[in-house]
Every structure is written in C-alpha cells, then in structure tokens.
Amino acid sequence: MKPLNPAFAVELRTSFSEQTVMTLIGARLSKVEAGHVEIELPYRTDLTQQYGYLHAGIVTTIADSACGYAAYTLMPPHSQVLSVEFKVNLLRPAKGDLFRAQADVIKAGKTLTVVRADVTATSSDDEPTLVATMLATIICLRQE
C-alpha cells in the first residue's frame, strides 16, 4: 500500500492533536505507517462502566480514530476522513493497565476504505490480550 500524500504523517499528527477528546481521555498516537495506525490509552478510573472496566464507548473511541487515521495514510492530499459505520465485538472485559488500538487497512478505495482494528489490554508483565475487534467503513472527502 503506497501513500499518495507524502505529508500524511505530519498532517495526521496535527489532526490527532485537534481531536480534543483524545486529550480528555489521555490517549496518544503511538505508531503511524502507511496503512497502519496505533493509539494507546492508559487505564484511568474515570473511564469505566459500572464494573470498573474500560467503557465499550472508550474502547470504540480509540479504535475508531485508529481506523479513520489508518485510512487517511493512504488518501491523496487535501482529503477529509469520516467514519461511515463500524461494528465492534467486545471479546473480553476491558481490564488492564494499557489499551492499544491497532488498525490496518483491508481495502483502500477512492471513496470508501475498509479498516480493521484490534484492541488489546496489557497488565503488568503479561502478554497483551485481545479485548475487542472493529470492522469499519471510512469515507474520503476532498477538502475545498
């Protein structure tokens, strides 16, 4: 997968910094490559559902941004990305110290790009555990 926009990484980082919700929840962009983006989120007690696990909506927040930006890496200059839809399967309770959403483009198209993201949880020295998987459709709009 070849990037069409040589400045994609710089522009993506600027765009990420404008997603104010990422600052609110404490998420950071941890990897940016053509067709692949990772976002990390340390656990916080103010991000949970009623049993103390990370809320599925917050799992979705980092997975959705990872998917949108993974699509962005393969788009031409002056593109805007918007999520059309996504499906998330929550595979295990989202407990752990660090969550990581890893998104990979499955099919890049002119208008629509399909992206998959896995979200893992890591606790202390354990191996990461898969807690959720997303399948998303992203649309590319040309900026005026």
Of the pair 10, 130, the CB lying nearest a second copy is at 130
By the rule CB under 8 A, 112 interacts with a second copy: yes
Q: How far is the CB of 107 from a second copy (least distance, A)?
A: 4
By the rule CB under 8 A, 2 interacts with a second copy: no
Please, is 116 exposed, middle or buried when counting C-beta atoms within 10 Å of its C-beta (0-12, 13-18, 19+)?
middle
Report CA-CA distances (Å) from 34 to 11, 37, 48.
13, 8, 32
Helix and strand numbers (H, E) in the chain are 3, 6
Q: What would the two tokens of residue 3 be? A: 């990037």
Question: Where does this chain touch a second copy (CB under 8 A) — which range of 1-9, 28-36, 60-68, 119-127?
Answer: 60-68
By the rule CB under 8 A, 10 interacts with a second copy: no
Q: Which of residues 64-83 bind a second copy (CB under 8 A)?
A: 64-65, 80, 82-83
50 in the Ramachandran plot: left (φ > 0), alpha (ψ -120 to 50) or beta? alpha
Query: How many residues sit in the footprint of a second copy (CB under 8 A)?
Result: 50
Q: How far is the CB of 111 from a second copy (least distance, A)?
A: 7
Task: Identify any residues that bridge with 129 across adjacent strands, giving them in sequence order.
Answer: 121
Q: Which of residues 11-50 bind a second copy (CB under 8 A)?
A: 15-16, 18-21, 23-25, 45-50
By the rule CB under 8 A, 139 interacts with a second copy: yes
CA angle 134, 83, 107 (to 5 degrees): 65
Q: What would the two tokens of residue 58 be? A: 């917050």
Binding site for a second copy (CB under 8 A): 15-16, 18-21, 23-25, 45-51, 55-58, 60-65, 80, 82-93, 106-107, 111-112, 114, 116, 130, 133, 135, 137, 139
